[in-house]
Amino acid sequence: MLRMFSALLLVSLASAQLTQPNPQLVQNGGFEEGLIGWNVEGQAGYTFVATQDVYVGTRALATKPLTRPDYGITIPSKQGAHQEITTSQLSLDLQFSFAARVENHNSRTEVRAALSAKGTRTWTLMYFVAYDPDIAQGPRYSNDTARSIFLADISPAADPMWNSWLTFTRDVRSDFSSAFGLQGFQDSQITSIDVRLEMIAYGSTFNTDITTWDEISLIQKQTVHTTVPVTTLTETATQSVITPTTTQITTVITTVTPPPQSQTQVFMSLPVIVAGALALLVAVLAILVVTTRRK
């Protein structure tokens, strides 16, 4: 019974999957250290650290569009920040999450978080929080190397999601697979992941269209198979081994010689013999005498 229990314990622990703590790939995702780790793009002053209406902590990232007076303009202006992540063991087994707060959105302003997987080519997933639903199927939302995932539909009309924090969590491998198929795609082809937080303005916009970002997270999911060394107690039956041996039997024949009669015994028996002989002689003589007289 002890042997069986020990074997089961060893197998169970050796095959257990122990999940190590998931490494966080994004540096300063809560912006508590300002813009450290992030690269700002666009017009100076339109991407900055906010200290009010934050989601967690005391700071967040705020982006606002460049003011456009012309309604007909089609060249977009992009404001935001990005962070490129490089690691030797990077794969698409990622969990991406972020929080966003959109204020006073209009149909000419788009808000998105994007992930670009870079390697032999670049694949980009754009997670839209605010967009123009009327042209959501247009080429700027989808092409050969970029796909869009629409997370929220914050319309230009009054919307209860305005001025409130929205949180999102995505399985990156599942999203890339659904968007691109990725048949034959190998994780070894990925050299870096670029995380982007962007506000894009088409046409006339206002500086009051502010989006605030917080708690940007990209976690590498890892499942490690670990064999745990186990000291087992094994019940082993003790077997008595009888080894054939050649036993040499020596027969000892002992000749027992009666001890010689002592001289005392000889001397003690001699008078008896003499007396007997004399008695016999006397008897013979007596017979002879009697016989002679009769004659």
Specify the CATH number for the domain of residue 153.
Answer: 2.60.120.260
Q: How many residues does the chain have?
A: 295
Cα Rg of the chain (Å, integer): 56
In a domain, 91, yes or no: yes
In a domain, 168, yes or no: yes
% of the chain exceeding 70 in pLDDT: 63
In a domain, 244, yes or no: no
For residue range 27-47, list pLDDT tens digits in order.
999 999 999 999 999 888 889
In a domain, 103, yes or no: yes
Range of the structural domain that residue 107 is part of: 21-225
In a domain, 42, yes or no: yes
The answer for residues whose C-beta is within 8 angstroms of residue 116's C-beta and 6 or more apart is 122, 123, 124, 125, 193, 194, 196
Residue 215 gets the label, from left (phi > 0), alpha (psi -120 to 50) or beta, of left
In a domain, 252, yes or no: no
> Chain centroid to CA 241: how far?
46
Pairing of strands 77-85, 224-225: unpaired
Burial class from Cβ neighbours inside 10 Å (0-12, 13-18, 19+) for residue 12 reads exposed
13 phi, psi to nearest 5 deg: -75, -35
Give the count of domains, the chain. 1
Check whether 213 has a pLDDT greater than 60: yes
% of the chain exceeding 90 in pLDDT: 31
Pairing of strands 146-150, 122-130: parallel
Burial class from Cβ neighbours inside 10 Å (0-12, 13-18, 19+) for residue 104 reads middle
Find the mean pLDDT for residues 165-175. 94
Q: What is the pLDDT, as a whole number, of residue 80?
A: 95
The structure's pTM equals: 0.66
In a domain, 159, yes or no: yes
Find the mean pLDDT for residues 167-178. 93
* Least confident piece of the model among 38-42, 50-54, 105-109, 116-120: 105-109
In a domain, 64, yes or no: yes
